[in-house]
Amino acid sequence: MADETDTSAAGSETTDTGTPLQVQAPSLLDEAGTETGGDDQTGKTEAQAEGEGGETDAKADAKDGTKAEGEKDDKGEAEGAPEEYADFTVPEGSTLDPELLAEFKETFKAENLTQEQAQARVDQGMKLAEKWSERAVEMHLKTIEGWRDQTKADPDIGGDKLPQVLAGAKEVRDHFGDEGLTEVLNTFGLGNHPSVIRFFSKVRAAISDDVFVKSGKPTGEPTRAADVLFGATMNKKEG
């Protein structure tokens, strides 16, 4: 990815129903040269924005307003399970696993649920799956925040050393890596992990400045990764 783009690129977490939840995991490497001392936010889910810490009343979610089994409708006709259930409505972008759906239909049939009652059960299941996914995203974001804090507090790469360390680490990532590497680091938040940043920093310290050129491409020499990292030490046995 080019440096000018917003590399807080969102990865995606997927619920059991296939609904994508966007996760922002900005990398410390892309904050090189910017203020890094303040509190950082790695992004929040939509559920957090609507109300952090709030727990939905499960009983309220369970209310489907449907009729009890065997209850008659306004016309006095007994309702029950149809011969075959029609396709259930799910949120846009979501899907139902075919095998799981078949099990659901068997259960609905056994309970003699109408199409409307079965749809209400499906709606409840979709809400539950979404909440589980949101919780997983929240845990992932908290983990990333922990990595950022560890990096900033690290005695070897954090504190006053951090800006220079990040600048050097970013040079290595952009020079030797590709868009796929940057995407992985941002999607999973690994660009904030102290071990990852420490590795890039050590590689930068082992490489001379003349390897890095403004074009972002390596110079003619050295061409091998071993030469870049170890230089003449690899050639002592020659001759």
Q: What is the rounded CA–CA span in Å between residue 230 and residue 232?
A: 7
What does the angle CA 213 – CA 188 – CA 54 come to, to the nearest 5 degrees?
140
Q: Which of 129, 118, 53, 37 is nearest to 91 (CA)?
A: 129
- The type of residue at 75 is K
Q: How many residues are listed for the chain in this entry? A: 239
For the cut 90, the answer to whether the pLDDT of residue 198 exceeds it is yes
| Burial class of residue 40 in the structure, from the number of CB atoms within 10 Å of its CB (0-12 exposed, 13-18 middle, 19+ buried) | middle
Q: What is the rounded CA–CA span in Å between residue 126 and residue 123?
A: 5
DSSP-assigned letter for residue 38? S
- Between 24-28, 88-92, 135-139, 193-197, the lowest mean confidence (pLDDT) is in 24-28
Q: How confident is the model at residue 11 (pLDDT cuts 50, 70, 90)?
A: very low
Q: What is the mean pLDDT of residues 69-96?
A: 74
More confident residue, 220 or 17: 220
| Distances in whole angstroms, Cα of residue 187 to Cα of each of 42, 96, 140, 192, 216 | 11, 25, 11, 11, 23
More confident residue, 195 or 34: 195
pLDDT at 136: 94
The percentage of the chain sitting over the pLDDT mark of 90, rounded to a whole number, equals: 47
Q: What is the rounded CA–CA span in Å between residue 164 and residue 32?
A: 8
pLDDT at 117: 95
Q: How far is CA 80 from the centre of its chain?
A: 43
